Chain A
Amino acid sequence: MKTDTIAAIATAMSPSGIGIVRLSGAEAFEIADKVYRAGKNSKKRLSDQESHTIHYGFIFDGDEMIDEVLVMLMRGPRSYTGEDTVEIDCHGGVYAVKRVLETVLSNGARPAEPGEYTKRAFLNGRIGLSQAEAVMDVISAKSEYALKSSLSQLKGSVQDKIKSIREKIIYHIAYIESALDDPEHISLDGYPEELDMTAAELEDKVKRLLATVDEGKMIQEGIKTVIIGKPNAGKSSLLNLLVGEEKAIVTNIAGTTRDVLEETVILQGIALRIMDTAGIRNARDAVEKIGVDRAKAHVKDADLILYVVDSSQPLDDNDREIIELIQEKKAIVLLNKSDLEPALNTDMLEKLTGKCVISISAKEETGIGQLEQQMKDMFFHGELAFNDEVYITNARHKQALQEALLSIQMVRQSIADGMPEDFFSIDLMNAYEALGRITGESVGEDLVNEIFSKFCTGK
């Protein structure tokens, strides 16, 4: 069985402060020792400590102190997974937990696969046979979810960039391989210089992507909040109000917002990714129809929905469709335009939707405080949570990018050393594979297909 050491954030990410990073595997203690310091000049090693003890100290990334922590040690088989396990209790909030995870990963752990702790627990005999079926369900459900969330969190532009890097890499591997397989047809004279130029370019691109990860721009973090409502209910006005600037075009012409606008807002310390969608109605215009479909798709994987209703208009079929859509979701109903003559009231809507209803006026900027308070309550009551998978995904992406970078650098080293061309493709393939883990594409028959489609080879 795999005995490498895995790491993940073991708690849901919440700004309440404490988060646990868990390490499991043969090198759990060794890795923890690399990042842990009990005090300024302390030589205390966690590996020397008794099992099932707790230690106060600090996590360091090189010379930089990241967080003040409590570390709990459990030697296998007396742990959940049955392996040596270290749990690091972090106190510095979401950001610190993330940094601690990254630090252990860069010191030799690898990000846990979905359901991997449970799988290890089972394989090490910590969970009984009767639970095996449950374990398998967890694995398949979690990986399904991880794949979905990993792709949905990846920004489109990032995905495009990685795809284009991969295309370049596979082209070059295919070129080298065709020449190796058919040396009499395809020559590699002067090729190393050309490859080095491309590799330098790719190295630069991967580095820039890595910087993006560190700045948190690569994936979208925060509670995914979707604003929905009929055309001209005031969705864009609400977004502008929450963001504090004019982002959405606000007109009184229904259907102005045809695409989805997105903004990140910090409300009471909670990060919200707010999306303004096109109004939902039976769209006649083709362009608008796309916008409506997209809005519906966003509702599906939203963490929170803000349903904006124009209180001066009676409900119609479009509203009933929206109410249907948000039934299974966490949602707040906002009765907008409270400054106008009402055609609807809060009680009526509460009964109809079963959700909390708040009366606001985006125009007069009233009711916003109440909305913020409601969101905060939901968050601290655990009804809303940061998705910890996001951080794991991000850590996985980062590791994959680092691997790709290293491989590309090794290609350049091989070129500089004057190694024969067949050595280049070993590391190029590793880079290609690593990047594929981010976009969820496996290698399969890519190479063979690329060779045949791009190069005329054979007798």
Chain B
Amino acid sequence: MAVLREEYDIAVIGAGHAGCEAALACARLGLETVMFTVSVDSIALMPCNPNIGGTSKGHLVREVDALGGEMGKNIDRTFIQSKMLNKSKGPAVHSLRAQADKQAYTREMRRVLENTDHLTIRQAEVTEILALDGKVTGVKTYSGAQYSCKAAVLCTGTYLNARCVYGDVSSYTGPNGLQAATHLTDSLKKLGIEMMRFKTGTPARIDRRSIDFSKMEEQTGDERVVPFSFSTDPESVQIDQVSCWLTYTNEKTHEIIRRNLDRSPLYSGIIEGTGPRYCPSIEDKVVKFADKNRHQVFIEPEGLDTNEMYIGGMSSSLPEDVQYEMYHSVAGLENAKIVRNAYAIEYDCINPRQLQATLEFKAIKGLFSGGQFNGSSGYEEAAAQGLIAGINAAMEVLGKEMIVLDRSEAYIGVLIDDLVTKENREPYRMMTSRAEYRLLLRQDNADLRLRKYGYQVGLISEEQYQELLEKERRIKEEIYRVEHTFVGDSDTVRALLEANGSTALTGGSSLAELIRRPELSYDTLASIDKNRPELPEDVREQVNIEIKYEGYIRRQMKQVEQFKKLERKQIPADINYDEIGSLRIEAKQKLKLYSPMNIGQASRIAGVSPADVSVLLVYLEQYGAEKKKGGTDDSV
């Protein structure tokens, strides 16, 4: 029987948030790219919460944007409410979060994909990855069609052997009843890839007309919205926003849940997958935090053209009748009509230690992966990995250097390093506490940190890059000026200080010194700064932060220097750990399992002690010297 055969440079399997970024990156770099999805209608689907961003996740979106990704632009075009979280805290933890119009988000992303040159969208289930001599050669779909490619990016999300469960009802489908992908796991196992099973869950959706909002607190968006993308015109996002609503569970809700725990598939053992601790179901919250007599419930619109409301904080896999009883016990939801039941979903993913930090499989050249398939969770985590996997797949095909961001450069670096060097027993979620150098990794400076990499790989245009250099120059000049502009104890200065509750000057002071006072900022000093140039908001913000937190930033930079030293010490791929007698057995095993790229990465693996790292350093020194000697011998 004749089968369809086509040739591409790159095949992307999956069209969720990881797949979209991967496919766009490859196609925008001029490579012929095919993107497979089980349903074209589910491109960039948001099957769980209707928001993009949030603490640390907002950082990821900003970083994706700085590198030339799409997520930030797409949410800027489709958000219906936006908030900067943690505004009362330091700049490092300010985080953008926007409510999305889910359908608009999907539609808009699809429009972008469909209008990108070199990109083909194909509705088909990929059933097999074809590889020869440890290198990817193509993919095969359910119909038997073969697509040859030089690199493939796996972004299967929660679809592999997916099963949705609530109560004793279970169906073998992906999220929202979409078709699961049931063959690919076997093909991957045959290639020697180690698979795991994870679970996650989502709450019910309720008809807006059945909710009594008078019993809830209204949550509105920010008055002045900050866009996600560095390329979005800030004026274009000042729209009419919709509200979210806050209510609470109560003792009655908890009693209903406790009474029905034996009917929860989580507690009766029907679900075996490992669930995320940071995104617990309401059953988990009630059991684990038994002393709390109420939990917050956020009611969020799913879009402008729908009455469906997302019940944030009450994901569950309890049976349908219990779900009704439980939701009805919450203030304002007494007469709630459920549109979609809450459910838990189980799916296959990989143990990500099989990946290099480039997101390429260690054992299979040309095979990359990103997103929930790698054991992470969340749209933003997925987009970030999808982008890196896509870029690096493209770099491989183009024969150019791949990019690896380290922990001091980006949350993306932290995310990927954690995935490939740490043991993950649950879907991995980004958190600000996971970033050691977060004072440097702010959402406000993602462009200053990462645009250069986007430019280097070709996703950021020359014009955008020149704009960045200009911004850098203006920040530097203004900081210098403010540090070298002095004011004395004049009447205007005294009045300004008094008005801001700041103590009067006794002698001269630079403007920078005044900015460092907690109660003052760059902007508040405008009236006493005669020669201040006209500067855009983003430049003023950087000047303020860089000066105000200079001491802390300097301390963190010092830590980064130490960190970089170990990060730069590369470990050759052909190292034989068995040869190093002084390594402890546990360290040998772990090093063999993870095969770290450099000493820094090795030192973060659980079970590798500082002494082991020292031994490794000494061994590498010896190894390097012998290599050099060997090289000379060859040439003679």
Contact = CB atoms under 8 A, between A and B. Distances in A.
B280 interface: yes
B626 A129 contact: yes
B253 to A, nearest CB: 14
A181 B285 CA distance: 17
B615 A456 contact: no
Nearest to B57: A181
Contacts of A137: 581-582
Interface string B557-583: 000000001000000000000001111
A177 B431 contact: yes
A177 B88 contact: no
Interface in A232-278: none
A447 interface: yes
A2 B93 CA distance: 32
A113 B614 contact: yes
12 contacts: A115-B611, A140-B583, A140-B611, A181-B278, A183-B85, A183-B89, A419-B518, A422-B89, A422-B93, A448-B433, A456-B289, A459-B312
Interface of A: 1-2, 113-115, 119, 122-123, 129, 132-133, 135-137, 139-140, 143-144, 173, 177, 180-185, 188, 417-423, 425-426, 444-445, 447-448, 451-452, 456-459
Contacts of B88: 420
A217 to B, nearest CB: 28
A181 B49 contact: no
Interface string B594-621: 0000000000001001111011011101
Contact of B611 (A114, A135, A444): A114
B431 A448 contact: yes
Contacts of B580: 136
B277 interface: yes
A6 B93 CA distance: 37
B299 to A, nearest CB: 13
A177 B518 contact: no
A123 B422 CA distance: 29
Given A115-B614, A426-B552, A451-B433, A456 B56 contact: no
Contact of B618 (A132, A143, A177, A183): A132
A452 B277 contact: yes
B90 A123 contact: no
A126 to B, nearest CB: 12
B610 A456 contact: no
Contact of A132 (B439, B555, B609, B619): B619
A445 B298 CA distance: 30
Interface string B449-478: 000000000000000000000000000000
B518 A180 contact: no
Nearest to A455: B289
B362 interface: no
Contacts of B276: 458
Given A181-B56, A183-B86, A459-B313, A136 B434 contact: no
Interface string B417-447: 0000010000000011110001100000000
A423 B551 CA distance: 11
Contacts of B581: 133, 136-137
Nearest to B626: A129
Given A132-B622, A458-B277, 15 more contacts: A113-B610, A119-B617, A122-B618, A140-B611, A185-B296, A188-B89, A418-B519, A422-B90, A422-B92, A422-B93, A426-B439, A444-B606, A452-B278, A456-B289, A458-B278
Contact of B582 (A136, A418, A426): A136
A447 B433 contact: yes
Contacts of A419: 90, 518
B618 A456 contact: no
B619 A456 contact: no
A177 B90 contact: no
Given A129-B626, A420-B89, A458-B278, A181 B619 contact: no
B313 A181 contact: no
Interface string B34-57: 000000000000000100000110
Closest 3 CB pairs of A and B: A143-B611, A136-B582, A420-B90
B88 to A, nearest CB: 7
A348 B524 CA distance: 93
B259 interface: no
Interface residues of B, number: 57
A417 B548 CA distance: 12
Given A140-B582, A448-B433, A459 B618 contact: no
Contacts of B610: 113, 143
B376 to A, nearest CB: 14
B279 interface: yes
A173 B583 CA distance: 34
B315 interface: yes
A181 to B, nearest CB: 5
Contacts of B292: 456
Contacts of B535: none
Secondary structure at chain A's binding surface: helix, strand, loop or mixed? helix
Contacts of A1: 565
Nearest to A114: B611
B363 interface: no
A132 B623 CA distance: 10
A123 B621 contact: yes
Contacts of B56: 181
B178 interface: no
Given A183-B85, A422-B93, A459-B315, A132 B432 contact: no
B611 A123 contact: no
B552 A139 contact: no
A423 B85 CA distance: 16
A456 B293 CA distance: 12
B288 interface: yes
Contacts of A143: 609-611, 614
A184 B296 contact: yes
A340 B313 CA distance: 82
Interface in B260-281: 276-280
Given A119-B618, A136-B615, A423 B552 contact: yes
B90 A423 contact: yes
Contact of B285 (A136, A140, A180, A456): A456
**Which among B90, B279, B313, B439 has the greatest number of chain A C-beta atoms within 10 A?**
B90
B584 interface: yes
**Which among A425, A448, A451 has the greatest number of chain B C-beta atoms within 10 A?**
A448
Contacts of B622: 129, 132
B221 to A, nearest CB: 13
A140 B625 contact: no
A140 B89 CA distance: 45
A459 B49 contact: yes
B529 to A, nearest CB: 23
Given A181-B431, A456-B280, A456-B285, A133 B49 contact: no
Contact of A421 (B89, B433, B582): B89
Given A452-B277, A456-B285, A458-B278, A184 B298 contact: yes
B614 A139 contact: yes
Nearest to B312: A459
A173 B276 CA distance: 21
**Which among B279, B422, B614, B626 has the greatest number of chain A C-beta atoms within 10 A?**
B614
A180 B279 contact: no
A119 B619 CA distance: 11
A409 to B, nearest CB: 14
Contacts of A136: 580-582, 614-615, 618-619
A448 to B, nearest CB: 7
Contacts of B278: 181, 452, 457-458
Contacts of B89: 180, 183, 188, 420-422
Nearest to A133: B581
A188 B85 CA distance: 13
B295 interface: yes
**Which among B49, B56, B289, B433 has the greatest number of chain A C-beta atoms within 10 A?**
B433
A452 B610 CA distance: 28
Interface in B132-163: none
**Which among B92, B280, B431 has the greatest number of chain A C-beta atoms within 10 A?**
B431
